[in-house]
Amino acid sequence: MIGKVKTAGRTWCVHGVLVVACLGAAVASAADLTVAKHVDQFYAPPSALLTYEITVVHLANPAVDVGLFTDDFPDQLAGCTWTCSTTGGGWCELASGSGNISQLLSVPVGAAVSIAATCTFIPSPGHECAANVAVFSTMDPDTTTRGFATTCQAGVTVFFDDFESGDTSGWAPLITT
């Protein structure tokens, strides 16, 4: 039995217990398509304008070039407007818009699509950070890729692993042996 396994952006063929690199142009991997997402401020006060720069780049595999780009902005980002531009022969279904983004993009090999989004940061108690994910999906599920960016309210300490309250009274000291 031959199957495909994808790990860390590479696709491997599995033949029984033997794992080998897949060969052939029909095999696409997420490494062929990248989504990079950056925000201009990592910490921001309420009502700050945040600018996100999202770039979709296609490095290889000519069999994959059209896909659906989505970016559902979280509740902490309000009044979002965006523009879309391309280089290298790509195209955007829409050149600009407001609110969430859902549009077809063409990103042929060597092309890049850039989307600039500006939103107002509206944090609320328990939702001090705005985690935002952009996704580019093609007909081949192996080429779905994501970009991620987070902004928090200035001066807010973010705790993880069930320490969200920040109450340290019940914490035990770390003991090493």
Report the chain's mean pLDDT, rounded to a whole number.
74
Question: Which range (60-69, 72-81, 87-96) has the least confidence?
Answer: 60-69
Give pLDDT tens digits for 128-172.
888 888 988 887 766 677 788 888 877 655 444 444 455 555 555
pLDDT bucket at 59, cuts 50 / 70 / 90: confident
| pTM for the full predicted model | 0.68
Token pair recorded at residue 49 = 């304008």
* Residue 26 confidence (pLDDT): 27
Give pLDDT tens digits for 6-33.
333 333 333 333 333 333 222 233 547 7
Which residue type occupies 73?
F
Q: Is 129 exposed, middle or buried (0-12, 13-18, 19+ CB in 10 A)?
A: middle
44: how many CB neighbours lie within 10 A of its CB?
19
d(CA 80, CA 65): 27
Start-to-end C-alpha separation, the chain: 49
d(CA 98, CA 78): 10
Q: What angle do CA 112, 118, 121 make, to 5 degrees?
A: 135
* Residue 97 confidence (pLDDT): 98
What does the domain layout of the chain look like in residue ranges? 26-153
* Residue 105 confidence (pLDDT): 93
pLDDT bucket at 80, cuts 50 / 70 / 90: very high
* Mean local confidence (pLDDT), 97-101: 97
Range 26-153 has CATH code 2.70.98.10: no
Instruction: Sort strands 145-153 and 112-121 into parallel, antiparallel or unpaired.
Output: unpaired
